[in-house]
Structure 1
């Protein structure tokens, strides 16, 4: 009587039976720790160099510009050439750029802001091409029926890195060793490249010739034209932009570490890990997510949970309570991300998946960067609590408005889409 429910709730590992997906999965796992350490090290280094939460937010915008440009273009390229080759090229570029970040951390004075921004932009550009390509190959490796479970696996292992990375980065930063935090990132990308070399060729459906840049550029427009005909898929982007723009909290973490939670050990690491603690716990019990039929309604509910939890985070007087609210927010975000990604991967045809995943990356990674700018600017002007509480309230109200104005999204069912 109890065995079946445990299986139904437990993380579904069946996609790992596919050799190609195993290589992709372990490649993702190899990069996660270092990437998350870099995401902590960069804002810390900017704050250490400038003492400004606003400039921490500006750093996110510096990363956003290449992410938008190369995310959209990279998705089109991923629909026009062998995706395995594209992952190898961009993975190698990320490894080199991360190594250069480690070198700049050794410069006199703790680094140079302009050089740091340049390298952050380069890392963002390589990631913007690599990530949608990685997502676009998942249906080819596991089949349409395995996509939700594969997404849950990939996102769960990512959360392990997002928890361990900030905590380890916090320890290294406390010891004054930014170099090693960046160096681990470079090593992870190198391991991923070696794993991905074992994949077979993965050309998109209908692509046989060499890449033509003009065709790729036209493909960006074709992707947006397709998206305009798919209002439910369009709303998967809109609701995430709202959630991240108004309630992404990372820009205020350094200020909280120096102020409200200054007496708490490794507060920076715990704050950066908080969202992913909840996401990991949700991922480990995500067997039910792959069976959700009313995906639109569950996405809206999950984002409401995110908004309410961010309100609690903004008011939390102690570190442990702040981390608890961040964990609840992360659980909601995990459910939303798995379902939104699965909707895109299964509803879009193979020759359009790269472009849809490119837009997905721009939204998923770009939204938090704009959110950092909003949070940093508001925290500098009216304080951290006001910045976070107001944003969380906007998110909750917005999801109610979306449910009322776009009933097709609220009532979207996976079973009807598949039919």
Structure 2
């Protein structure tokens, strides 16, 4: 039974990973609080859906433009130094958000300042993310990387569950400036978690090339190319988020309480999968698990378009959320173990860009199909298209499906 539950071996055996995990968990919770604070402040300042949507653009553009450069930096500079520096920058930006909330509140004049600071925060995060993705395989043996990524995923899903609700409570009872102050404090905790790490300079520098080297490697290395195509198939063809308001209106009368449960259900499924992640992190064929989980995602999303019972719809979304967590963890395991250390930063940047752009394109596809047909058809057709694309990827990506990770018994023998 213990083998079914999340594997906490990395927390027990690696003090460095434990500090890193705790720091990231706290800063991730603070980040979710700030997301709610920014949404609230922009809406109160403008009461405009357009300007509320502009927050996503302010985050996406720096991520796409700075991300590849951040990956290149991560392959040439000590990753611990990068993470410490970006934590300090993000702490300062959170303090500036707190300051502008004190001075400007929710007046229309706050809009430009908030968007500028949000963009700067996203740019700093785009430099930190590739460096952070390369930390876990440096702190843990290969057979524990999957477990470390599962713990990291649990932390992320937990912050998504708790952070927005906590942010709303803080804003309601204490004010915007306190919410931003809590985020600043969370970055301080993240800094302490990183400061305790050993130096993480790239282990080797055998590969030349610059920013575009990561793109070339991802496009030509069969395992990495296959796993990224799996991600694109699931997100571009079967992303359901933009369809939630339509489905909520069609099936459930537009009740806002039901709409709020759509994303919550996905997060609940993700947490549940993380809690029993021992069922898949101990597997030695992560490629098979990745494509299988993506297929479950496609089936579940497509089925949402067919059911009419509210709780069955939410249950299917929970299954989709669980499948997403499984796919994210096993995909990360493949990428971390199949990529040389001196290319991990740039490859992680490519993964980050695909992981960000894929869902955006998927939401655009879903909305366009629903506009021409219906929300139900958009979901069902997306699920079917996802499965067909996954079949094609599986037929052409044998190295990904055959990739094996060492078991602990094999490592102990060695």
Q: TM-score, normalised by structure 1?
A: 0.82
Aligned residue in 1 for 2:334: 343
Aligned residue in 2 for 1:83: 79
Query: Does the aligned pair in 2 maintain the 1:98–1:183 contact within 8 Å?
Result: yes
For the residues of structure 2 that align with 1:120 and 1:318, how far apart are their CA atoms?
A: 39
Moved more, 253-262 or 403-412: 253-262
For the residues of structure 2 that align with 1:90 and 1:51, how far apart are their CA atoms?
A: 32
Moved more, 326-335 or 288-297: 288-297
Query: Does the aligned pair in 1 maintain the 2:84–2:194 contact within 8 Å?
Result: yes
For the residues of structure 1 that align with 2:71 and 2:302, how far apart are their CA atoms?
A: 35
Task: Give deviations 1:133-183, integer Å, cap 9, x for gaps.
Answer: 112121221122221111111111221111112333455677795555444
Moved more, 61-70 or 85-94: 61-70
Query: Does the aligned pair in 1 maintain the 2:42–2:52 contact within 8 Å?
Result: yes
Q: Select which of 348, 353, 356 maps to 1:362.
A: 353
Aligned residue in 2 for 1:248: 239
Moved more, 300-309 or 166-175: 166-175
Unaligned runs of 5+ in 1: 1-5, 208-214
Secondary structure of 2:199's aligned partner: coil
Query: Does the aligned pair in 2 maintain the 1:60–1:369 contact within 8 Å?
Result: no
Moved more, 128-137 or 250-259: 250-259
For the residues of structure 2 that align with 1:333 and 1:15, how far apart are their CA atoms?
A: 22
Q: Select which of 94, 97, 105 maps to 2:93.
A: 97
Aligned residue in 2 for 1:142: 140
- Note the C-alpha offset of 1:56: 5.7
Query: Does the aligned pair in 2 maintain the 1:275–1:328 contact within 8 Å?
Result: yes
- Note the C-alpha offset of 1:275: 1.8
Aligned residue in 2 for 1:197: 195
Aligned residue in 1 for 2:212: 221
Moved more, 221-230 or 372-381: 372-381
- Counting only pairs closer than 5 Å after superposition, residues 149-160 of structure 1 correspond to structure 2 as 149-160=147-158
- Note the C-alpha offset of 1:86: 0.4
Moved more, 324-333 or 94-103: 94-103
Secondary structure of 1:205's aligned partner: coil
Query: Does the aligned pair in 2 maintain the 1:58–1:373 contact within 8 Å?
Result: no
**Are 1:400 and 2:396 counterparts?**
no
For the residues of structure 2 that align with 1:366 and 1:239, how far apart are their CA atoms?
A: 14
For the residues of structure 2 that align with 1:174 and 1:322, how far apart are their CA atoms?
A: 31
For the residues of structure 2 that align with 1:178 and 1:392, how far apart are their CA atoms?
A: 40
Query: Does the aligned pair in 1 maintain the 2:287–2:334 contact within 8 Å?
Result: no
Aligned residue-pair number: 403
Q: Taking structure 1 as reference, are residues 345 and 368 closer, same or farther at Cα in structure 2, changes over 3 Å only?
A: same
Q: Taking structure 1 as reference, are residues 401 and 204 closer, same or farther at Cα in structure 2, changes over 3 Å only?
A: same
For the residues of structure 2 that align with 1:317 and 1:182, how far apart are their CA atoms?
A: 41
**Are 1:272 and 2:270 counterparts?**
no
For the residues of structure 2 that align with 1:151 and 1:342, how far apart are their CA atoms?
A: 7
CA-based RMSD of the aligned residues comes to 3.5
Moved more, 395-404 or 376-385: 376-385
- Note the C-alpha offset of 1:33: 1.6
Secondary structure of 1:202's aligned partner: coil
Task: Give deviations 1:302-342, integer Å, cap 9, x for gaps.
Answer: 11111222234456657644442322111111111111111
Q: Taking structure 1 as reference, are residues 373 and 41 closer, same or farther at Cα in structure 2, changes over 3 Å only?
A: farther
Secondary structure of 2:210's aligned partner: helix
- Counting only pairs closer than 5 Å after superposition, residues 227-246 of structure 1 correspond to structure 2 as 227-246=218-237
For the residues of structure 2 that align with 1:51 and 1:150, how far apart are their CA atoms?
A: 41
Unaligned runs of 5+ in 2: none
For the residues of structure 2 that align with 1:333 and 1:200, how far apart are their CA atoms?
A: 32
- Note the C-alpha offset of 1:8: 1.3
**Are 1:283 and 2:274 counterparts?**
yes
Query: Does the aligned pair in 2 maintain the 1:61–1:373 contact within 8 Å?
Result: no
- Note the C-alpha offset of 1:60: 3.1
Aligned residue in 2 for 1:15: 10
**Are 1:327 and 2:327 counterparts?**
no
- Note the C-alpha offset of 1:38: 3.6
Query: Does the aligned pair in 1 maintain the 2:143–2:405 contact within 8 Å?
Result: no
Q: Taking structure 1 as reference, are residues 37 and 369 closer, same or farther at Cα in structure 2, changes over 3 Å only?
A: farther
Moved more, 316-325 or 23-32: 316-325
Q: TM-score, normalised by structure 2?
A: 0.83
Secondary structure of 1:147's aligned partner: helix
Query: Does the aligned pair in 2 maintain the 1:57–1:369 contact within 8 Å?
Result: no
For the residues of structure 1 that align with 2:55 and 2:372, how far apart are their CA atoms?
A: 18
For the residues of structure 2 that align with 1:192 and 1:291, how far apart are their CA atoms?
A: 28
For the residues of structure 1 that align with 2:35 and 2:243, how far apart are their CA atoms?
A: 14
Q: Select which of 13, 20, 31 maps to 1:24.
A: 20
Query: Does the aligned pair in 2 maintain the 1:47–1:254 contact within 8 Å?
Result: no
